[in-house]
Every structure is written in structure tokens, then in C-alpha cells.
Chains A and B, each alone.
Chain A
Amino acid sequence: MRRFDHLNATSIQEATSALKNKSAVFIAGGTDLIGRLKDEILPGYPELIVNLKTIQGLDYVHEEGGLLKIGAGTRLADIAADPIVRLRYTALGQAAGRAASPHIRRMGTLGGNISQLHRCWYFRAPQNRFECLRKGGKTCFALAGDNRYHSIFGAVNGCIAVHPSDTAPSLVALDARIKTTKRTIIAEDFWDVRVASCTVLDTDEIVTEVQIPAPDVGARSAFVKFALRKSIDFPIVNAAVFVGGGAARICLNAVAPKPYRATKAEQVIAGKSIDSRNTGAAGAAAAADSRPLEANRYKVQIAKVLVERALLECASAA
């Protein structure tokens, strides 16, 4: 690991100001960033790391004004353990409790989890071994290489890496808003595929809060994840669903460069009884637009089944 300067920011203003004169990055839990720095996966290296965890007031979970408000610095373990989240925003609680490992959940924050960079073993190869599209190169090495874990819904800006966040699909399913130092973004619009970035955030923009509208009485949500290991493993596919008020919101992740909202599946299941016939149809609809590669065709089947199972879990919880 190379040397860098470190700043414990005490305010948002101090944190953003620190970016003006140096190449700098923000750090919260650091569970993604530190690995990236150790492996030197990107061509550049920050001169300064600005610690956001020392800013007071970014760590909270409470309901207010018809919204669940979660500070961006709230740790995943705290979200997973929060009784209100578990009861009323179940998909998020399940996702936060299934991410990474107990150790990492006690370090990693919600803001960091949704802002983590894509998973692609070419993009993340140590020492910037593959100068891919996401690093300003001209080639997606995964497209011709080993893409067993990559997108089944095609590329975005030429990249087929997947976004691996477990909490992200839950936030989309729960129709969350991401509040930043500059604006409030609909969760579904938060992610993007750009050079060395996976969100629409400007380099000096910081997520401060996540807001989720309180669900109607009787609404249900669920999150399911498929990974090769039961702990400390990124999803091969995950899925979050919300059903309530005659509507449904369904989002998959790790299947595309951005969390994938399965609107066709939503249309199939909205207002209908959640039974195996309808959930099966919804699962099929969720994967209807998939365009898998030879090595990741299996993910299509898993995506279908996960949508089906997440919906059935909502039914069983009702």
C-alpha cells in the first residue's frame, strides 16, 4: 500500500473542501476502498483520504414525517438489527444482515455499500493488470474472457461488470431516495457506469441520508440472495421485492451493471394473489429481457427463482 495523507473531517464542508487541492477520496467503513488501494486496481492513487466517519450526525435510523431516515454513516449491522427496519422495511433489514460478514457489517456503512465499485475480476485485478473500459481503456476484457459472474442483461457503456450491493435492490424496491450534499436522487437513478465510478455522484458529492417512504399497512417486502458461500461473499444474484397497495416493485442485483428493476415482473404480479403460479410467471417475466452469455446462462434461472421466492416470502409473512 502506498502512502497517503489522511484527514478526519469534522463537517461535510470540511470534507468537500479538502478535495479542492488534492486528488482525494472519501472513506467511511473503508471495506471496499482499502482493498482497492492495497491491490492498486486503478491507474491513479489518491494523495488524500478523507474520513467521513468522524463527522457527527451521520449515524441514525428513525421514522419521521412518513419516511424512514437512515444516516449514510449508519453501519450495516445496526440497520440489520433495527427493530423498525426489520418489521416495516424487511427487505432492507434482510439485505443489510446478509451482506459481507459480521465483521464487515460492523464496519461498512449504508452509504458505502451503495457506492462501492463494480465487481469484475478484470476491473479489480491487482496492479491495474487489465486497463479496461472502466479505467479509460478501450477493451472490456470480460466480454471475451471469463464472464461467469457478469451481466445477463447486456452492457452499459460497454461494461458488463455487475453491481454487487445487497442493499441497493432493497432500496429500489422500497422506492428510496438518496439524499446527498447537492440533491436528492431517486434510488433507481442513483447508479451509473462511468470511468472508475458506479454512481451519478460528482467527485465532491457525499451521500448524507437514505429516505424510504413508510409502507402502507399490509405491505410486505423481502430480500433473497444467492452466493456460493453463506458469508463474506458477493451475490451471484440477489433480489428484493415489495408488494402492497395493489402494486409491486421488484429489483435484482448482480445481474447487470446497475441494479435491475424488473418492471415486467412487477406488471405480472401487481394486484394479483401471490401464489406459485403467479410468482412463477413473475419470475419468468423478470428474466424475459435477459441476454446471457454462454458462461452465465445459469444466472437467468437463478434470477427467475429468486424473484419467485422473494415474492412467496412476502406472502408467507403476510
Chain B
Amino acid sequence: MASKMPEKPDHQKFRVVGKRGVPGSLSYPIATGRAKYPRDLVFPDMLFARVLRSPFARAKIQRIDTSQAEALDGVKAVITWDDPELRAMPMPYPASKTPVLSNQAGREGDEVGVMVAAESEELCDEALKRIKIEWEVLPHILDPREALDPDAPVLHPEAKPSNVDLVNNWEDGNVVAGFQECDHVVEFDYAAPLTTTFHSMPLTIISKWEQDPMDSEGPILYTPPLYRDKGLAVAREAFQLPWAQVRPITLYVGASYCDSDPRRVSRLVPLLAKRTGRPVRLAYTRREVFDVAGSQVYAHVKVGFNNDGIILAAHGKTIASSGVESDIERSTTDLAAFRMTKALHIKNETTYVYTNTARGAYLRGFPASSDLLARAIHSIAEQLNQDPTETLLKNMHTPEPSVKECLEKGKAAIGWKWHPAGTRKLANGRMHGMGFRMRDSHGWGSTTAISLKLKTDGKVYMPFGSAYFGVFGQDALAMVVAEEVGARLEDVVVQMDPVAPFSFIVGGSGIGSTAYAAQQAAIDLKAKIMAAGAANLKVKPEQVDTKESTVYLKADPSKTVPFKSLVSDAVGQLGSLNSLWQGPTPTRYDGTLRKLGPVNIIFGEVEVDTEIGQVEVTQMIGVADAGKVLRPSSFEGQLEGCMVWTISKAKTEDYIFDKATGVLLNGSTLEYKPATILDIPAMQTITVETRTGGGVYGSTGAGENFWDQSVISSAVFNAIGKWIDNPITPDKVLKALGKA
């Protein structure tokens, strides 16, 4: 079905959409613990599993003897990498040609060589200890800059001749000529560390095979769907099963922060369950969750601008880590954010390289691009003694009022009063700073399906078959359906149904587009309802409308027919009215499902104790133009989550390795130090609705780039006049100030 861009509606006329105080359909089970996540599930006769984790950053198993493990009482399966069924599975990371399990480890903690299933986790651990392994320890690379050294070991020689994973080079205009037009040039280096995807609940894979009494096709595999149902997709591939034979073992997956990597264990655990004929559970430890991370980035950027502060040219060279391997396309660590400015000459050179660190992933937004722009804007403003919010506005080429309105609302909320860097000392002796970061965030459309059914109880049922990971997106869709159908909100039932048509929702950016599908299905259903109602009232469909779950005669609203009396009247034995909409949601400019994104601007205020190098974040304000906010609490929750992680990334998060061995030294919450509630300052979210996105009612989604980290570094720059890369720890601050 073809998509069409909707007209921007009058925001004042909504009856349900945008309403506050609407509990989520799953709020009660989640709040009470009735919701069962994979980690909560227990099945009779269940086995436990472990996969061997490499103690070395890069190593090869030369010889393995599993006989003592197999002989251990209670051990039910030991499978090594040379197992034929395992070897036949598609590669999870085809770009680096790494198989589901091999005898080579590419990072400390990598799954390698062998997995076991036993009656307890303790037995699994004991079995792994009894396996005799002869390792060949190989040289490793932790720093992506070293990966390009001609003498560096090539990490995936079977796939690539060097450690270059991919190159993202492009040029708009002519950057050499562009710089010749500039009055000033500012250059800076930028670095961002590896940061973990940090599942709040460590990943757990629990799989079982069962013969479905309703299905003669063969055994059904039940396994966790994971983020975006990828857990099901890779299991289908691995075991060459049709859709109907791989089903979610639960629809609860827990927060995963854009971590779309289903891991090797999504194939390994079902295999163990298949071999043993019993349910098998593999639960990650907290340390094991550090297996996937956002890119480690090193950039050098040169920005040319005129006397007015307008950027004319920008040139960036970036080296970023793909980690040991990656299953995603990475193309956002670049100067793309500069395309929001009036600059005509932009040149980007980004090289992604393999290292012996965590697998590369999208992570809580795309960090580097808007960080680089923020650093440029604040640096230019400082050099020209301008308020950086003015510098930003001057540079934006967007014709719409979004940026200006977001800036003004944010400035008013935080009490913005710009001062040159390092010039405002507070009464408590600390240095005061404010900064901000603006981003025309990414936002994605999707191919999706929504089906609706009006049943004889007068309620509209919306089966939803996609994993539920916490933004209450389904409830936003229910509001749209109620709005369009003319039903009471309580008469729209979100029915979590593992075999429902695919209904795709991604975090903060995708609800608006999936809701477009819900709207289209609802429009279709409403037409059928009105036809049935009109027949009941013995008038033409155009003479009726719907409200409060009834059809009424427009000329005489006292004449009504409740929805519940329509269904059997209309279709007799079938007992329901149906609609289905499926297809791609609206897209914008490049045909890649990317739709008009939200503008979001985040402001931060800091106090820097220059004696001990401590940064205190005192205030954060998030302003976002999402076109149309469907469910305010979902929207605000997304933004608040982003701001919390902004602080965490700015102040503490980093992967710290022992350079000699490549062993992760801070692979625990205690050592990795995500922000605690006491580290979070007063926060405020502000909604702006000026844009017209490709989602329903012009929605753009909330976006994720609030997780950019440059807002805090910009504020610290304003406080002390020094740029400090994340995490902004006391050693770096004191060193920058010449005190360490």
C-alpha cells in the first residue's frame, strides 16, 4: 500500500492524542513484577548453559580436550566449534567473516570454542574449568589509531586485507576553495571512549523446542525476541525455519538502548535446547554485558568561518573503532551534522577499523557528529565573543521556526546568560559554565503492519506481536486508533500476541511512523464501522460519524448506535469488523526510510571545582520539537532517559583496559560507574510542536540524540576555557588546569 505524507493537523482538536495521565497497558504487570522477562522464566526440566569466554584479548585454541567435562555428572551437552550444524549456520558478522563459534577469540570475554549445558550453572562453570585448552595467544589492538599501523596484526585476514572495516568519505562543494573564503579557522581534536550499551537487565537467552498440537509443520522454537525481534530472525536463519516455527518465548525484553546485536548465544542456546531436548537458559553476567559498545572515536576537525561566525567550510578526519566485529552499518561518526549549517564546503573522511574490543553498535544515539558541531559552534562563539546560541542560529539553514523556538524556550528555562569562558566565579569558589547541543536528530520510518478488529463487545482489538521494550509505544498507537475510530480510549485493547502481524516499534524515533500505520488501519476500520452504523440507522454513511464508541447521525446526534451492536448486525457469523494496513511508513529525501527528524536542544549548567577537578552538573533542560507528541509521558520519559545517560557518559563512562593483556578492568557497575540518582540534577523537558514529520499527525518521534555528550563538555569549556573529552574526570580537569 502506498504511503502518503499527511497534512499537518490542528493540534488543538485532538480528543485523545496528547492526553496526559494515561496508564500504559502493561504498566500494571511491569510495576508488580507480573511481567516475565527472559531472566524470570523457569521451566520444568530446564538446563543451564555457559559458553567459554576467552581470557585473552586475541587468541586461538590450538588443542581442546573436553572429555573431563563430558564425563562430569549432570553435564548434558558439550558442543565445540567444529560441530557440523554449528558450522552450517550463517555468519552472524559477515563483514568480518566470523562464524557463530570458532576457535579464535577476538576480545577478552569473546565467546570461543565450546559451550556446555548442564543441570546447574555451577556445573557448567565446573565443566568449562575441566576442559583442557592449549591457547596460542596473539598480539592485540585496543586503540583504533594503532590498527592502521602498517605493522599492526591484521585481525580478520580472511575477510579484509587490512584492519579497515569500512570507509565513509564524502565531500560537499570544494573544501579547499571553501577555506580560502574564510576569515578564521579553528582546529580541534576530539575523542570519545567506548561506552557500553548497558542493559539494565543482563541479557538472558532461554530457549525450548515444542511440538505445537495445532501445527503439523514441525517443532516450534520458543526463544527471546530481543530488540526489534532480531533474536527470532537470527534463530530462523540459523535453523532454516519458517516464520511460524520460531516464536517469542515472552514479549518482554527489557531496556536495551539501541543494542540490536542478538549475540552468538541467540543461535547457541537454541542449539543446546535442540540437542538436549530440554529448555535451556543462559544468563549473562554483568561483566558479559560489556560485550557490545558504541564506537571509540578520534577526530581532528578544521572549521573555517567568517567574521560574522558563519561556518563556510569544515574538514574532519576520524578514526573510529568497529570493535572486534559488528553486525550494523556505521556511518554516523562524521561531519553529517554540519549539513544542518549553511556551510557549502564540507569534507568528511572517516575510517572504521577493527580492534580487539567490544563489538561495535549503535548506542543511545550517534555521538560524534553533533558533538563535533557543538564544539565548533562554541569555539567560534568564544573566538568572536558571541553568545553561542546566536552563532548557532546564524548557521542554521533550516527555514522553519523549530530551532529558534527550541532555543528560546530552553534559554528561558535554564536562565541562560552567556559569559565568555572562564570568567564567572561563583560565591562557592567554583567556576560556572553553561552549554548546549543541538541536533536535527535521526528518526526512522519502518515497514510495519497493524491490524484492528472490532469485536462483539464493542472494543477495538489491536494485536501486537513485537517485543515490548519499554517506551509504551503500543499505548501511543492505541491513542491514535481511539482518536481516528471515534472510540473511547478504554475501548481500544492492545493485545500482546506473539503471532500477531509484525508491528515494528523502535525507541523514541519510531513511534510516530508506526502510529501512521495504526492511523491508516483505523481510518479503514472507521469507514467500515460507519457503513455498518449507517445501515443500522438506515441512512447513508456520509450522514453519520463516530464518537465515544458509538455511531451517531450527524443531523440528529441523539440517534446513536453503539459499536457493540454493530458487529453481529454487519457481518453475521463472522462477528467482527477488520482492517489491516501494512507497508512502509512515510519517508523523506533519500528513500531509506529516514523521515523528518525531531530537533532537540539540550542545555546544561555546571559548576567546576577547579581545586579538585570536580564537575557538578547543576541543571539540564531538554527541549524537543517532535512535530506532534502522541503520548506525553512516553515522550518525556525518552528525553529524561537521554539526559540521565548524557551525564553518565560525560562524567564517568569509559572502557578501561589493561594495555598489556587487553583485559577489561572496569567491567562492573561499581567500576564502570554509571550515574546514580544523586548525580542527576534537576531536569526539565519542554515540548515544542512546530515541525511536520513523516509520522502520524506530522510526528517526528522524540529521537535519541539527547544522549550526545557534548552538552556537558561545552558547559565545562564555558566554565574553565578548556575542552575536555569525555569522560570529564578529575585527572583530565586538573591536568588541563596545570594542577596535575
Contact = CB atoms under 8 A, between A and B. Distances in A.
Q: Do A and B originate from a single complex?
A: yes
Interface of A: 1-3, 101, 121-122, 125-127, 129-130, 141, 144-146, 148, 226, 228-234, 236, 295-298, 300-302, 305-306
A130 B55 CA distance: 11
A225 to B, nearest CB: 11
Given A146-B656, A229-B652, A298 B673 contact: no
A122 B658 contact: yes
Contacts of B657: 146
B739 interface: yes
B663 A302 contact: no
B670 A301 contact: no
A233 B740 CA distance: 22
Contacts of B125: 2
B580 interface: no
B670 A141 contact: no
Contacts of A231: 676-679
In this complex, the member of A101, A130, A230 whose beta carbon has the largest number of chain B beta carbons within 10 angstroms is A230
B722 to A, nearest CB: 15
A306 B612 contact: yes
Interface stretch (B93-101, B303-311, B485-493, B729-737): B729-737
Nearest to B729: A228
Contact of B665 (A101, A122, A300): A122
Given A146-B665, A233-B673, A297-B740, A226 B614 contact: yes
B739 A301 contact: yes
When A and B form their complex, which 9 residue pairs have the shortest distance between CB atoms, in order from nearest?
A298-B740, A230-B678, A298-B731, A121-B665, A231-B676, A298-B734, A305-B611, A297-B740, A231-B678
A300 B740 contact: yes
Contacts, number: 86
Contact of B612 (A122, A234, A305): A305
Contacts of A230: 676, 678-679
A228 B671 contact: no
A296 B125 CA distance: 37
B520 to A, nearest CB: 47
Contacts of A300: 740
A148 B730 CA distance: 11
Interface in B705-738: 729-731, 734-735
A288 B665 CA distance: 30
For chain B, the bracket of interface size reads 20 to 34
In this complex, the member of B651, B677, B730 whose beta carbon has the largest number of chain A beta carbons within 10 angstroms is B730
Interface string B604-646: 0000000111100000000000000000000000000000000
A301 B612 contact: yes
B611 A146 contact: no
Main secondary structure of the interface of A (DSSP, over half): loop
Given A121-B666, A125-B665, 15 more contacts: A1-B122, A130-B663, A228-B652, A228-B729, A233-B676, A236-B730, A296-B731, A298-B730, A298-B740, A301-B613, A301-B734, A302-B612, A302-B613, A305-B611, A306-B612
Given A298-B613, A300-B740, A301-B740, A232 B659 contact: no
6 contacts: A126-B287, A226-B612, A231-B678, A233-B670, A297-B740, A301-B611
B413 interface: no
Interface string B308-343: 000000000000000000000000000000000000
B574 interface: no
A149 to B, nearest CB: 9
A296 B612 CA distance: 13
A74 B663 CA distance: 38
A63 B659 CA distance: 52
Contacts of A296: 731
Given A229-B652, A229-B678, A300-B740, A145 B673 contact: no
Given A145-B659, A297-B740, A228 B673 contact: yes
B120 to A, nearest CB: 10
Contacts of A234: 670
A232 B669 CA distance: 10
A129 B658 CA distance: 11
B58 to A, nearest CB: 16
Contacts of B658: 122, 130, 141, 145-146
B26 interface: no
B739 A2 contact: no
Contact of B659 (A122, A146, A301): A146
A232 B673 CA distance: 9
Interface in B646-668: 651-652, 656-660, 663, 665-667
B61 interface: no
A262 B277 CA distance: 66
B675 interface: yes
B107 to A, nearest CB: 14
A287 to B, nearest CB: 12
